[in-house]
């Protein structure tokens, strides 16, 4: 086998089933090998950035996303997608063809130092120069992308390494066991939580899985702790839970932020405290005790120094905390009437054992529990009051964002489709006024890359073909990747794309309105009829200009079974919820 065939077989053994890319001179051997391999499929897109975004979406739907690009310009076109994957902790593997070793460092055609170029925006970047190590390093790349805090990895394969005969020596497929917290860490954290009167749990992007985190649910319910989520992570906790109190970040209702500001103890699980989640690192009070759980040791104390820092997988840690909380509430079978003796104590009546041991709650803990329950109920009531959706007011010849969110709520409630958000101006409306009550029903990207949503939804559709996906894009974002609607039609990926068509770069327009005295420059433009464009490519197209037409158009788009575009015409100044200003850029 040549090096290219060995690389593809290594990927197949590691569970990769789809490769996304754009043909180029230095990856044709990889594409040829994929075409001859059993159980693995190559799909061509129309731009390498789309391949990276599709791989990102594929990975979010489960597993690892893999994309291909040729040297130089093709590789550079992947960069935006890999930067986004790094910011979002998404396991994406990029295989990039490189000039042959024999002409390296001669300014060969499209030559680029790929390792140096990608190092700052990947978890690991490597170039393989020995054909005998192709399998080893490709398999290691997959493990690296998936282990610990996930992230993108780049593997550069020079053309002569791909064509040379290589020893097909493969490693066993292994995944590292997730790190677990120590018993002492769990005892210390639980002692803080059970003594707290106003605790809050912040659940971040590290809380992932095919379903809800059962340990997190049990812990919150056992101790009656209100839960908020990090920015753009609203669906990692059931929004209909009496303990859910909103999503932090840009667009959060005041009650959600105030809840955290007033907390005496914060348990942050898989949360890296991003700029938007923390309102530019002003969210936590100096008087608030912080318990931080994160799989990445570098995240512990990066911005806020925790009172208790636990380096562990979030699922393992929350399960341990929930189990310990349940054990603390149960009298042990060895307890004798009239004593509070516990295993591990001095054996004297009335002793309470070591800190954090499984003792019965004292009166102070019972009082704290009562206050926690009242605190959680009050927080939920105030959050629900502030998050009540506004009544949409129909406008002539256009659809307001309030009406668009209301229409999405209706359709999502009846179809159980998954929403993919890629619309900065509409994002705060979704954060405030759409609820998600099943895991994996909402995805958004905080990496800042325009154009992410539609390709990511295509990747998710590829990974989960039996499900339906609706992406919401701004017209500026969609037009950056619109050429790949042809890819969706060719590959029969029935993603429904809803375009908030306000004929403007809305996010920049709002900043010019608030910070530049309304001096608009370079933010308004013309658009085609996106529905007609969709039909031209063989997709389903709907153009919506009135509120009454919105829900029927969305339903027809879903029922078509085709890739679809719903072009929702809005006023050119339609944007953020009333009273909300863009976050500062300085």
Question: What integer pLDDT is reported at residue 349 of this predicted model?
Answer: 31
pLDDT tens for each residue of 126-159? 999 999 999 999 999 999 999 999 999 999 999 9
pLDDT tens for each residue of 266-318? 999 999 999 989 999 999 999 999 999 999 999 999 999 999 999 999 999 99
Residue 289: which H helix or E strand, with range? Answer: strand 289-294
CA separation, residue 3 to residues 30, 33, 57, 263, 497 (Å): 9, 10, 28, 57, 40
Q: Which pLDDT band holds residue 98 (cuts at 50, 70, 90)?
A: very high
Q: Which pLDDT band holds residue 83 (cuts at 50, 70, 90)?
A: very high
Domain 3-163 has CATH 3.40.50.970: yes
Q: Nearest to residue 18, comparing CAs of 463, 332, 553, 382?
A: 463
* Equal fold, 3-163 vs 183-331+354-386: yes
Question: What integer pLDDT is reported at residue 347 of this predicted model?
Answer: 35
Q: State the Cα–Cα distance between residues 416 and 409, nearest whole angstrom.
A: 10
Question: What integer pLDDT is reported at residue 446 of this predicted model?
Answer: 87
> What CATH class is the domain 183-331+354-386?
alpha beta
Question: What integer pLDDT is reported at residue 332 of this predicted model?
Answer: 54
Residue 340 predicted with pLDDT over 80: no
**Who contacts 106 (Cβ-Cβ below 8 Å, separation ≥6)?**
none
pLDDT tens for each residue of 84-95? 999 999 999 999
Residue 264 predicted with pLDDT over 90: yes
pLDDT tens for each residue of 183-193? 999 999 999 99
pLDDT tens for each residue of 375-388? 999 999 999 999 99
pLDDT tens for each residue of 466-516? 999 999 999 999 999 999 999 999 999 999 999 999 999 998 999 999 999
Q: State the Cα–Cα distance between residues 115 and 535, nearest whole angstrom.
A: 42
**Average pLDDT of 332-349?**
38
The residues that bridge with 540 in the sheet, in sequence order, are: 564
Q: State the Cα–Cα distance between residues 570 and 474, nearest whole angstrom.
A: 11
Q: Which pLDDT band holds residue 393 (cuts at 50, 70, 90)?
A: confident
Question: What integer pLDDT is reported at residue 392 of this predicted model?
Answer: 79
Q: What is the dihedral of CA 259, 260, 265, 266, to 10 degrees?
A: 130
Question: What integer pLDDT is reported at residue 365 of this predicted model?
Answer: 79
Residue 65: which H helix or E strand, with range? Answer: strand 65-69
Angle 97-101-103 from CA coordinates, rounded to 5°: 105
Q: At what angle do helices 214-223 and 314-329 cross, to 10 degrees?
A: 40
CA separation, residue 497 to residues 58, 357, 494 (Å): 17, 53, 9
Q: State the Cα–Cα distance between residues 442 and 420, nearest whole angstrom.
A: 6
Q: State the Cα–Cα distance between residues 95 and 69, nearest whole angstrom.
A: 7
Domain 401-569 has CATH 3.90.800.10: no
CA separation, residue 102 to residues 129, 159, 160, 161, 416 (Å): 11, 10, 8, 10, 55
pLDDT tens for each residue of 396-452? 678 999 999 999 999 999 998 999 999 888 999 999 999 999 988 999 998 889 999
37-71 burial, b at 16+ Cβ within 10 Å, e below that, comes to beebebbebbbbbbbbbbbbbbbbbebbbbbbbbb
Question: What integer pLDDT is reported at residue 394 of this predicted model?
Answer: 67
Residue 341 predicted with pLDDT over 80: no
Residue 351 predicted with pLDDT over 60: no
Question: What integer pLDDT is reported at residue 369 of this predicted model?
Answer: 87
**Are 47 and 483 in contact, with CB atoms under 8 Å apart?**
yes
Q: List the chain domain ranges.
A: 3-163, 183-331+354-386, 401-569
Q: Which pLDDT band holds residue 336 (cuts at 50, 70, 90)?
A: very low
pLDDT tens for each residue of 58-76? 999 988 999 999 999 999 9
């Amino acid at each position: 086998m040549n090096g290219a065939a060995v690389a593809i077989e290594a990927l197949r053994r590691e569970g990769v089933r789809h490769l996304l890319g754009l043909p180029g001179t230095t990856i044709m051997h990889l594409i040829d090998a994929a075409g001859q391999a059993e159980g693995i499929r190559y799909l061509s897109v129309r731009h390498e950035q789309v391949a990276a975004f599709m791989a990102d979406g594929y990975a979010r739907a489960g597993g690892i996303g893999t994309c291909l690009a040729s040297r130089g310009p093709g590789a550079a076109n992947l960069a935006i997608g890999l930067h986004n994957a790094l910011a979002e902790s998404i396991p994406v593997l990029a295989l990039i063809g490189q000039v042959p070793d024999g002409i390296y460092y001669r300014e060969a055609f499209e030559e680029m130092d790929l390792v140096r170029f990608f190092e700052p925006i990947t978890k690991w970047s490597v170039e393989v120069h020995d054909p005998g190590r192709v399998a080893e390093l490709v398999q290691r790349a997959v493990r690296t992308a998936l282990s610990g805090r996930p992230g993108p990895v780049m593997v550069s394969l020079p053309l002569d390494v791909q064509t040379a005969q290589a020893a097909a020596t493969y490693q066993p497929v292994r995944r590292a066991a997730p790190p677990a917290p120590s018993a002492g860490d769990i005892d210390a954290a639980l002692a803080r939580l059970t003594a707290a009167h106003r605790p809050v749990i912040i659940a971040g992007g590290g809380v992932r899985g095919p379903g809800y985190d059962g340990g997190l649910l049990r812990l919150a319910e056992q101790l009656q702790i209100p839960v908020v989520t990090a920015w753009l992570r609203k669906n990692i906790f059931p929004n209909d839970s009496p303990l859910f109190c909103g999503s932090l970040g840009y667009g959060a209702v005041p009650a959600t932020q105030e809840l955290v500001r007033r907390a005496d103890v914060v348990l942050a699980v898989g949360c890296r405290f991003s700029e938007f989640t923390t309102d530019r690192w002003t969210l936590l009070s100096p008087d608030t005790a912080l318990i931080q759980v994160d799989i990445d040791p570098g995240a512990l104390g990066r911005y806020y120094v925790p009172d208790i820092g636990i380096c562990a997988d979030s699922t393992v840690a929350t399960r341990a905390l929930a189990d310990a909380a349940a054990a603390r509430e149960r009298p042990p079978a060895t307890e004798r009437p009239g004593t509070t003796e516990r295993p591990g104590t001095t054996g004297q009546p009335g002793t309470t054992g070591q800190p954090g041991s499984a003792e019965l709650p004292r009166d102070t803990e019972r009082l704290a529990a009562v206050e926690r329950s009242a605190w959680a109920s009050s927080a939920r009531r105030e959050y629900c009051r502030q998050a009540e959706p506004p009544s949409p007011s129909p406008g002539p010849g256009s659809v307001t964002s309030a009406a668009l969110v209301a229409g999405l709520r209706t359709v999502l409630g009846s179809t159980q489709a998954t929403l993919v958000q890629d619309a900065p101006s509409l994002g705060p409306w979704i954060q405030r006024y759409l609820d998600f009550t099943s895991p994996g029903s909402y995805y958004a990207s905080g990496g800042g890359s325009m154009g992410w949503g539609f390709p990511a939804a295509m990747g998710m559709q590829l990974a989960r073909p039996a499900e339906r996906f609706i992406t919401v894009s701004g017209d500026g974002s969609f037009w950056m990747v619109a050429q790949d609607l042809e890819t969706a039609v060719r590959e029969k990926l029935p993603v429904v794309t809803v375009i908030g068509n306000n004929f403007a770069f809305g996010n920049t327009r709002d900043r010019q309105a608030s910070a530049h005295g309304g001096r608009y420059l370079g933010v308004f433009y013309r658009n085609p009829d996106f529905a007609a464009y969709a039909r031209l490519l063989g997709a389903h197209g709907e153009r919506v200009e009135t509120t009454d037409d919105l829900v029927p158009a969305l339903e027809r788009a879903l029922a078509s079974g085709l890739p679809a575009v719903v072009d929702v015409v809005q006023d050119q100044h339609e944007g953020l919820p009333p009273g909300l200003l863009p976050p500062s850029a300085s």
